[in-house]
Structure 1
Amino acid sequence: MKKAIQLVTFLVIAFGLISGAHAQSSGATKVVYHIDDAELQGIKGLRNIRNHLDTAPNTTIIVVTHANGVDLLMEGAKDKKNNIEYAPLVSALKSRGVKFEVCEITLKNRNLKKDQFVLDADFTPSGVVRVADLQYKDGFAYIKP
């Protein structure tokens, strides 16, 4: 009797794991791009996201910025090396469904105001917590350009 219960328990667990894996693989991919330094990751990250969507257009993408990464979403901000303004690139990706978020702790620490950011930006209480929650709770893959 004990072996029968163990077998049934094993089969229930195995079926649950297989069903869970199938459910994850059948849905659209979800990715969080983590940017904490606009100068090093800005253009590269935006191009990675564009290429990502060109190849897999049904991907759900959220870009979370904090620390110096929030500079990517500031009004009038440019890539210093290439003199390319970020806002048009951000708007183009936003029109493709990408969500951009700015860490409010960074705003406080750097004495920044929400109206300094492009209209395409949303805000999150903590960028680091948001990245962790998207990965752990919501099953997002993690990419740091």
Structure 2
Amino acid sequence: MRFLRLMFATLLLSFAATHALAQQHVVYHFDDAATQAFKGLRNIRNHLDGDPSAQITVVTLGPGVDMLMPGYKDANAADYAAQVAALKARGVRFEVCENTMKGRGFKKEQFLPEAEFTASGVVRVAKLQGQGFAYIKP
């Protein structure tokens, strides 16, 4: 009986480990909203369509933070606020670099409600990569 319990526990742990490995963890790095917002948000949408279980974190810094501000428009004049809200509803995390905010004189209240904040965008990207996140820069 003890042997059966041990085998069952081993099987459960093996299944859990396999499931954890199967789930993708990805960081998307945006540092220029004007050239990256349109294609990057589309890539994330396509990524989730192909793998709905993927855990995606978007880290924005420098001019990349602009895409997380209400009313932001680039040459495509797309409605990024609606796209960000839709992706947030699918589990995507959107993070803004506080170093950038300080350097550009921004306040947290100036960003979309979906935005979260991280002290340093580059440190955050490096830490996520150290945790096994795949790195994508649109």
Instruction: List runs of 5+ in structure 2 lacking aligned partners.
Output: 1-13
Matched, 1:131 2:114: no
Secondary structure class of the residue paired with 2:62: strand
Alignment correspondent of 2:133: 140
The residue type equivalent to 1:95 in the other structure is A
* Aligned positions of 1:80-119 closer than 5 A: 80-119=74-113
Secondary structure class of the residue paired with 2:27: strand
Instruction: List runs of 5+ in structure 1 lacking aligned partners.
Output: 1-18
Q: How many residues align?
A: 123
Shift of 1:82: 1.6
Question: Which runs of structure 1 show a deviation greater than 6 angstroms over 4 or more consecutive aligned residues?
Answer: none
Q: CA deviation digits over 1:13-65, x for unaligned, max 9?
A: xxxxxx9xx75973301000000000000010000000000001000000000
TM-score (norm 1): 0.81
TM-score (norm 2): 0.85
Whole-Å separation in 1 of the counterparts to 2:18 and 2:125? 22
User: Which structure is larger by alpha-carbon Rg, 1 or 2?
Assistant: 1
Whole-Å separation in 2 of the counterparts to 1:110 and 1:27? 40
Over the matched positions of the two proteins, sequence identity in percent amounts to: 59
Whole-Å separation in 2 of the counterparts to 1:76 and 1:66? 18
Shift of 1:76: 1.2
Whole-Å separation in 1 of the counterparts to 2:117 and 2:19? 28
Whole-Å separation in 1 of the counterparts to 2:98 and 2:134? 23
Whole-Å separation in 2 of the counterparts to 1:130 and 1:70? 14
